[in-house]
Structure 1
Amino acid sequence: MSLRDLARAEMLASMSPAERRAEMGSARLYFQRPDKPGFLVCETEGGPVVPVFTSWEALGLFAGPCRWASTTVDDLVELLPQGVRALVDPLGPRTFVLDEEALEDPDTQGERDGRA
């Protein structure tokens, strides 16, 4: 882990959930671009996912030389087909699944669940 990554992790840990969500939503992710518009979807035991990466270098390690695109986390979650989630940095030490629920503001989650 680089010093930059360590500082970013510490900064995110000290943020409120709403601040973390805002920071994450504007982050840029990179993914392999298919021949036709859309995403390359991989079928897994946990359901369909699109592998995305926090850097184009990580994408290169995963896919090798390839056509690629990038977008923000917020836009990616809106653009993903229904039922498809993003798998962030699948070869990295901190892989996680990204979907609308993961980005939802905890202050409004109760309203969606009918608990408000």
Structure 2
Amino acid sequence: MSLRDLLRDERLASMSRADRLEALRSSRLYFQRPDEPGFFVCETEEGPVVPVFTSCAALGLFAGPCGWASTTVADLVELLPEGVRALVDPLGPRTYVLDAKALEITVEQGEHDGGGRGTAGPEPR
């Protein structure tokens, strides 16, 4: 674990669940840009996923030189086709599935309870 990872983990541990969720939703993710608008969807045994990355460097390791685009997690939730989940950093040590429905439920609960707290979030892999 690098010093950067240690500091990030310590900062996240001191945040409230609502603050962690807001930080997650505003995080930027990178993905390979297809020729037509949309996403490259990969079929897996667990259903369709779109590989997305937390940095351009991670995308480059996965796809090599390619056209790319980026968006926030909040926008990705809106843009993903129904039933498709995002696989974050598929080759990295902290790969996880970002389930758009889980994030939408969490946001709706936060709007109703006034604190942004919910029970759902990204699934660890």
Q: TM-score, normalised by structure 2?
A: 0.80
Q: CA deviation at 1:102?
A: 3.9
1:18-97 paired onto structure 2 within 5 Å: 18-97=18-97
Asked whether the equivalents of residues 26 and 73 of structure 1 are also in contact (C-alpha less than 8 Å), the reply is yes
Q: TM-score, normalised by structure 1?
A: 0.86
CA distance in 2 between counterparts of 1:16 and 1:101 reads 21
AA paired with 1:87? L
AA paired with 2:46? G
AA paired with 1:23? A
2:35 match: secondary structure: coil
Q: Which has the higher contact order (CA 8 A, sep 6+)?
A: 1
Mapped pair 1:11 → 2:16: no
Asked whether the equivalents of residues 18 and 105 of structure 1 are also in contact (C-alpha less than 8 Å), the reply is no
- Structure 1, gaps ≥5 residues long: 112-116
Distance change (3 Å), C-alpha of 1:102 and 1:4: farther
Q: CA deviation at 1:100?
A: 2.5
Question: Runs (4+) of structure 1 moved beyond 6 Å?
Answer: none
- Structure 2, gaps ≥5 residues long: 114-125
Distance change (3 Å), C-alpha of 1:109 and 1:28: same
Percent pairwise identity: 73
Cα RMSD over matched residues?
Answer: 2.0
